[in-house]
Amino acid sequence: MVQIFLNFWADLISADTIHLVVKPYWAMHVLLVNGPNLNLLGHREENLYGSKDLKSIENELESIAKNEGVTLECFQSNFEGALIEKVHQAMGKKDGILINAGAYTHTSIALRDALLGTSIPFVELHLSNTFARERFRHKSFLAEKAVGVVIGFGSMSYELALHGLIAHLRRD
Ligand code: DQA
């Protein structure tokens, strides 16, 4: 009886169990990166991107993350280099990245390399359905390396992408 009791506790605190139980639920840190022109959300081409501004989207996502026991840091820049540096700084600090790289999605090998360089799992997302738009938006330099891609659900793409990323990280 005593032996069974001791085995039970030994199993419970094994490294694998700690990783499974503790890391995914209490120590998950996610970075949300928004690229160029996404600071204009709410004013910009509302027919494509909706009427919510970026701050509202970030606030909503923060509360979803909090409910899930995940910390969320939000970052937006119109500069490719700043986005790359932010991704570099996530190394060793973040478990996952959500990224709407805006137009850099279709042009930036450097941003793709930054994401690959950190080896942090990431989800690409877009408000609009880029495949229903101009041909140059059909190409993504990031998609092939992403855990998954969420496109076309407006501001809901952010929520879906967060849930997808969390589920992916908890599965690891
Ligand atoms: C976008 C789609 C891109 O093609 C565009 O350049 C954007 C926004 C989206 O969220 O739908 O800036 O990333």
CATH number of 27-171: 3.40.50.9100
40 secondary structure, DSSP code:
G
Q: How far is the CA of 137 from the centre of ligand 1 (A)?
A: 8
Which positions are catalytic?
A: 49, 126
Name the nearest CA neighbour of 152 among 135, 138, 171, 165: 138
Name the nearest CA neighbour of 42 among 164, 155, 168, 170: 155
Share of the chain above pLDDT 90, in %: 80
- Residue 27: predicted pLDDT: 77
Would you say residue 147 has pLDDT above 70? yes
Would you say residue 24 has pLDDT above 70? no
Q: How far is the CA of 126 from the centre of ligand 1 (A)?
A: 6
Which residue type, as a one-letter code, is found at position 114?
A
The residue written with tokens 């004013």 in the block is: 43
In this structure, the residue with its CA closest to atom 6 of ligand 1 is 103
Q: How many whole angstroms separate alpha carbon 10 and alpha carbon 120?
A: 32
Mean pLDDT of 87-101: 98
pTM of the model: 0.85
172 band by pLDDT with thresholds 50, 70 and 90: low
What are the structure tokens assigned to 63, written together? 């509360």
Mind listing the pLDDT tens digit for each residue in 26-84? 579 999 999 999 999 999 898 889 899 999 999 999 999 999 999 999 999 999 999 99
CA distances from 127 to 79, 80, 112 (A): 20, 20, 20
Taking the CA atoms of residue 52, residue 80, residue 138 and residue 167 in that order, the dihedral angle to the nearest 10 degrees is: -60
Could you tell me if the CB of 40 is within 6 A of ligand 1?
no
- Residue 19: predicted pLDDT: 45
Would you say residue 164 has pLDDT above 80? yes
For the chain, give the number of residues. 172
Q: Comparing 17-26, 78-87, 156-165, which segment has the lowest mean pLDDT?
A: 17-26
Q: How far is the CA of 65 from the centre of ligand 1 (A)?
A: 23
